[in-house]
Structure 1
Amino acid sequence: MSSITVTVQETQTQASGAIVLATGAAARLAARKNEYTKSTSGLAPGYLQANLMILPSKYASDFRDFCARNPVPCPLIAESCASGDYATLKSYLPSVSGAQMARELDLRTDCPKFNVYENSQLTLAGTPDIVEQWTADHVAFLVGCSYSFESALARAGFPPRHALLDRNVCMYRTSIPLNPAGVFTGGTYVVSMRPYKKADIEQIRTITRRYLPTHGECIAWGWDALERLGIRDIDMPQWGDAPLTMDGRPLGDVFGNDDDVPIFWGCGVTPQEAVMNASLDGVVMAHAPGHMLVLDCLEDHVIA
């Protein structure tokens, strides 16, 4: 696994202090070696990123059905080729093979941080690897991530604010019910949020709409969306960092401002919320929210 190498030319630092790596392989190696432990937003611009969910094999069929019935927050893009296989993937993207997704892969180490659940309860948050927890019975699933349209937003002149401020995107539990599937019942959508000017919302919608396997178009926008989504406090996300204005104030301080309008997308943390609302036996593992698996295929490979 260690034959992946990263050269000096592959690494640079933005003015904000954020590290940028040139390839998905470089991002995975940095995570594997614990040399990169922050949010992967903007880490390898142009490369597809994925949420990770790892389940005992007896829940695999129910999880596939769950993703099929909830394609906006849970767009399934790949899974491990067999139970216990942490190195090869079966792709669900029509234009990308499993081999093209990620070379020299180790799903146990290649996210910067992981979460571990035992009997549906979060027992370990932000651990650097899941080597000890992985078993021959585990099946891994990759779910599309909205980080994968952020390069397109940046190219169009709309870089996400959390990336500019070197922060993790904010994520919220909503009151929108998920369609149940097998053991996965009772959960609700998780959404990510990025603020933009009201005048730019239509362009933002148009750009992200084409990335259907990575959540696609936003599902809600505007300050009144908080009530519709059941979000009580914009400054208190359940995952990620609290949103800020560009001058560092809590976003709630400018409630109603047309220059700081919240826009919400489906979020791949939704499966972790679903796990916590299910009664699953055994150990479930996932990426830590915001700390994704960066792949070798490009974001443009998923454009509809």
Structure 2
Amino acid sequence: MNTLMAPPLFTHPRELRAEIAAGRWDGNLGTIPQGYTQSSVVILPGSHAADFLKFCQLNSKAAGLLHMGAPGDPDPGPLAPGGDIRSELHSYRIWRDGELVGRASDVKDLWREDMVAFYLGCSLTFEHALTQAGVVRGEGRVYTTGIPTTAVGNFSTNLAVTMRPMDTANAIRAIQVTSRFPATHGGPVHFGDPAKLGLKDLSAPDFGPAPTLGADELPVFWACSATAVLSAQAAKPDLMITFDPPYMLITDRRVEETAVF
């Protein structure tokens, strides 16, 4: 009798990143080591770095900065010492003049000595904490709201949010849990009526299929690092490299290291 067995988890992010860099990982999210901080990555030319840094600082709920690399340095520093951001994401999005022009599994051939990597907090980090706390919720969906961010130079956009459906009791628990992690978006920016965020139709998310909300569920909205990508699109750098959801940088930092209490 044949039985299907779940693929084994990688025991440490270093192992996973090595497999990704070697082109051997199949993208199965179920094998990602649990309990580690995940980071959204935006890589820009140095001429745009100062404005983007300030944008992140002024809009930290959506674009909380975990680390900023030096120009030309692909090492993620304290997040993944000795790593190489040019080859350790499963998939990258390539942008030119604000337009998506392709995807790649390795960007070493695009790397320039002026490129600066920004490592942003990602809510997939606290998904582990929500699961550990027994919070029952639906899958997240991303929307662009009608709420403007604080613009810096040409970096300007409305706030993007991730909506997760859940009932009232789970929403209360989710607020308690996620508020511990301000570096990865923290607590929700809103729950309930989506019109308060300028959203008219939850059945049409920016990414993913239409969500399903049960009769006893309400939408709960967290700020999303897609905000940072949207702002950089507006700035139209000649080259930009970003993460390709749902494939983030799996760092060496434990989730609890980003908690404030």
TM-score (norm 1): 0.78
Q: Which moved more, 1:71-80 or 1:25-34?
A: 25-34
Q: Give 1:65's aligned residue.
A: 54
Asked if the contact 1:111–1:291 (Cα under 8 Å) also holds between the matched residues in 2, the reply is: yes
List alignment gaps of at least 5 residues for structure 2: none
Q: Is the 8 A contact 1:42 1:150 kept in 2?
A: no
In the alignment, is the contact (CA less than 8 A) between 1:73 and 1:268 conserved in 2?
yes
The within-5 A match list for 1:205-244 is: 205-222=175-192, 224=193, 226-239=194-207, 241-242=208-209, 244=211
Equivalent residue letter for 2:118: F
The 5-angstrom pairing of residues 109-148 of structure 1 reads 109-125=87-103, 127-148=104-125
1-side partners of 2:30 and 2:41: how far apart?
Answer: 15
The structural deviation recorded for 1:31 is: 2.5
Deviates more, 1:268-277 or 1:210-219: 268-277
In structure 2, do the counterparts of structure 1 residues 40 and 55 end up closer, same or farther at CA, with 3 Å as the change threshold? farther
Whether the aligned pair in 1 keeps the contact of 2:48 and 2:237 (CA below 8 Å) is no
Distance across 2 between alignment mates of 1:66 and 1:156 = 33
1:28 is paired with a residue whose SS is helix
1:13 aligned partner: 6
Other-structure match for 1:4 = none
- Of 138, 142, 148, which aligns to 1:171? 142
Deviations along 1:147-173, whole A, 9 cap, x unmatched? 1111111111125543xxxxxx42111
Instruction: Give 1:211 deviation, angstroms.
Output: 0.2
Consecutive unaligned residues in structure 1, runs of 5 or more: 1-11, 90-97, 163-168, 245-250
1:197 maps to 167
The 8 Å contact of residues 190 and 266 in structure 1, kept in 2 or not, is answered as yes
Give me the whole-angstrom Cα distance separating, in 2, the residues matched to 1:231 and 1:36: 37
Instruction: Give per-residue Cα distances to partners, 1:31-88, cap 9 Å, x unaligned.
Output: 22334454858822110110000000011111110011101000011011x2111124
Counterparts in 2 of 1:171 and 1:264: CA distance versus 1, 3 Å: same
2:54, 2:165 → 1: CA distance? 32
SS in 2 for 1:277: helix
SS in 2 for 1:139: strand
Residue 165 (structure 1) aligns with? none
Q: Deviations over 1:235-269 (max 9, x none)?
A: 32212x3255xxxxxx16x4xx21x3221111111
Q: In structure 2, the residue corresponding to 1:174 is in which secondary structure?
A: strand
Equivalent of residue 107 in structure 1, options 78, 85, 105: 85
Q: Considering only aligned residues, what root-mean-square deviation do their CA atoms show, in Å?
A: 2.1
Question: Judging changes above 3 Å, is the alpha-carbon distance between structure 1 residues 25 and 182 closer, same or farther for their aligned structure 2 residues?
Answer: same
Alpha-carbon distance between aligned partners in 2 of 1:209 and 1:42, rounded to the nearest angstrom: 27
Identity level (%)? 27
Q: How far off its partner does 1:144 sit? A: 0.4
Residue identity matched to 2:84: D
1:29 aligns with 2:18: yes
Over 3 Å counting, the alpha-carbon distance change for 1:184 and 1:175 in structure 2 is same
Contact 2:44 2:237 in 1 (8 A): no
In 1, Cα distance between the equivalents of 2:9 and 2:164?
20
Q: Deviations along 1:78-107, whole A, 9 cap, x unmatched? A: 011x21111242xxxxxxxx2xx2133110
What is the rounded CA distance, in whole Å, between the counterparts of 1:266 and 1:191 in structure 2? 4
Which residue of 232, 236, 239 corresponds with 1:275? 232
Matched AA of 1:264: F
Please give the alpha-carbon distance, in whole angstroms, between the structure 2 residues aligned to 1:208 and 1:199: 14
Q: Say whether the 8 Å CA contact 1:154–1:160 is kept in structure 2.
A: no
Q: Distance in 2 between matches of 1:48 and 1:230?
A: 31
**Partner of residue 72, structure 2:** 84
1:129: how far off? 2.0
Q: Does the residue aligned with 1:286 lie in a helix, a strand or coil?
A: strand
TM-score by length of 2: 0.90
1:37, 1:229 → 2: CA distance?
Answer: 37
